[in-house]
Chain A
Amino acid sequence: MPSINGSDVKKVVVACDAGMGSSVMVASTLRSKLSPHGVEVVHTPVNEIPGDATVVLCHQGLAARAQSTAPQAVVVPFAIFMGDPAFTKVEQAIKNGETLES
């Protein structure tokens, strides 16, 4: 099962179906939280998650597709697009060097 230590995360990929709508929004809110820690946040369609992605955030309805596109990556599913506990979890893990698991 893919896992990664928060302090090794350099880039977080936010994925949605088209890579044009909700992922852009989530990425822009996340960017302001994570850029102080030197983490880049990008958005893509869920079918085009880059092969070097280590941490992927996407809605739980798309998580299976995300994991099969990027088997190497830690996929963190979330339920709602704003204020979801998953966002806090990722932020905390990066800040405190905790382990993230798919």
Chain B
Amino acid sequence: MSFSDAEAQAKANKNRTGAGVSAQVQRLGRFMSGMIMPNIGAFVAWGLITALFIEAGWINKIAEGLNGAPNDGVMEWTASVAVLVGPMITYLLPLLIGYMGGKLVYETRGAVIGAVATMGVIVGSEVPMFLGAMIIGPFAAWCLKRLESTWQGKIKPGFEMLVDNFSLGILGGALAVLGKMIIGPIVSQLVEWAGEGVDFLVENSLLPFASIVVEPAKILFLNNAINHGVFTPLGTAEAEETGKSLLFMIESNPGPGLGILVAYMLFGPRMLKAAAPSAAIIHFFGGIHEMYFPFVLAKPRLIAAAILGGMTGVLIGVMFNGGLVAPPSPGSIFAWIAFTPPGIGNFVVMFAQVILAAAVSFIAAAFLMGFGREARREDAPEDDTAADASAASPTPATV
């Protein structure tokens, strides 16, 4: 079978099942999160340094606790290390994002010009330029790709390196200037508005309603797109200003998924019941939320349980000023613990957000599954449980 036949086949499959739109949305989301996710390790490094060494950080708190008073020597030392925090969030993280964004479009040369252009938006703004990097990185790479396609194959042998280096250098330099003068200020303004929008939602206790959108989107495998495309950049900017952000806790709360999996352990149909405990462990401790998506897809009305659980977690965060210092990724309870700011109160709020979210989603899910009555009905008439798992959820797009 030829390549184009296969492609037509794939297209036909997509149209037949109507998965085209969702695949398109997933693809856009993947592009956004694809710039952030490979760099999460750098966010974690930044988060740990911040949590440990800033003035209100762990080392100073512990020294104060041991001494009974702030320890000047320790504070001087942590302050000398904490100079890392600013440059890492202002330069390192946006440059990595711009680099990765360029790489997605045009390989290594795209990555390099993406980083060069990102430098322009960084110095052209007051706030950490994650959003700006996500725009100008891929844009710069796309420009370079277009420019080079105009003379591809027409360069005299031996002059390729000269042309390559100067085309990237001239275009990259120009885009950095453009970024400094025009894109940086525009994006700063946009980020400021987005921040005000989030503040408005927080102040009016509207943030929990975000879960109505976020939880269903997660199940459609848009979890990374939402978390790392939207919440990680906005939350990191907020955390840099205020020391923590609740935005990190909207998508990554392991509570709602845990509640659903525990409900399955007790009340689910036989086949899924057996898979639920190990899924719960990997989900809650390993932070791989994909583990519980199939359990919701198998009984789509359970999405209501996920939404209610998610809203509970966010609501408690809004009421008691919850927040994490850096993006917890993966969304494991350990990542949540690692990025909770020092102070017993912060931990109480954090655990309340997880446990109550789990409790609410458990109760809702158990109710929606009729406390096991439904599973007994499903299990009774047939023994062919192996077929259940694949039959229970919507038919796959390609078989």
Contact = CB atoms under 8 A, between A and B. Distances in A.
Interface of A: 1-2, 16-18, 20-22, 25, 45-47, 59-68, 71-72, 75, 77, 79-86, 102
Contacts, number: 122
B398 A79 contact: no
A45 B7 CA distance: 19
Contact of B13 (A46, A67, A85): A67
Given A65-B23, A72-B6, A59 B33 contact: no
B58 to A, nearest CB: 28
Please classify the interface of chain B as helix (H, G, I), strand (E, B), loop, or mixed, using the class held by over half of its residues.
Answer: helix
A84 B279 CA distance: 12
B3 A72 contact: yes
Given A47-B27, A81-B291, A83-B274, A61 B297 contact: yes
Given A62-B26, A64-B17, A22 B290 contact: yes
Contacts of B390: 79, 84-86
A59 B394 CA distance: 12
A67 B397 contact: yes
Contacts of A45: 30, 34
Contact of B14 (A60, A61, A68): A68
B266 interface: no
22 contacts: A2-B6, A20-B38, A21-B290, A60-B395, A61-B221, A63-B19, A63-B396, A63-B397, A63-B398, A64-B13, A64-B22, A64-B397, A68-B14, A68-B23, A72-B3, A79-B298, A80-B275, A80-B295, A80-B389, A82-B278, A102-B398, A102-B399
B32 to A, nearest CB: 12
B1 interface: yes
Given A82-B278, A85-B386, A62 B393 contact: no
Interface in B16-38: 17, 19-20, 22-23, 26-27, 30, 33-34, 37-38
A82 B10 contact: no
B389 A85 contact: yes
B20 A64 contact: yes
Interface string B61-78: 000000000000000000
B300 to A, nearest CB: 12
Given A21-B330, A82-B275, A60 B396 contact: yes
Contacts of B20: 64
A79 B27 contact: no
B220 interface: yes
Contacts of A65: 23, 26-27
Contacts of A66: 398
Given A64-B13, A68-B11, A81 B396 contact: no
Contacts of B224: 17-18
Contacts of A16: 290
Nearest to A102: B398
Contacts of B389: 79-80, 84-85
Contact of A21 (B6, B14, B288): B288
A18 to B, nearest CB: 5
A71 B9 contact: yes
Contacts of B105: none
B17 A20 contact: no
A2 to B, nearest CB: 7
Given A82-B279, A83-B275, A59 B14 contact: no
Please list the 6 inter-chain residue pairs (A to B) with the smallest Cβ-Cβ separation, ordered nearest first: A60-B396, A71-B6, A64-B397, A77-B396, A22-B290, A64-B19
A71 B287 CA distance: 32
Nearest to A68: B10
B275 A59 contact: no
Nearest to B6: A71
B92 interface: no
Given A59-B293, A80-B295, 18 more contacts: A16-B290, A17-B33, A17-B224, A22-B290, A45-B30, A47-B34, A59-B221, A60-B393, A63-B397, A64-B13, A64-B17, A64-B20, A65-B26, A68-B11, A68-B23, A71-B10, A79-B294, A82-B278
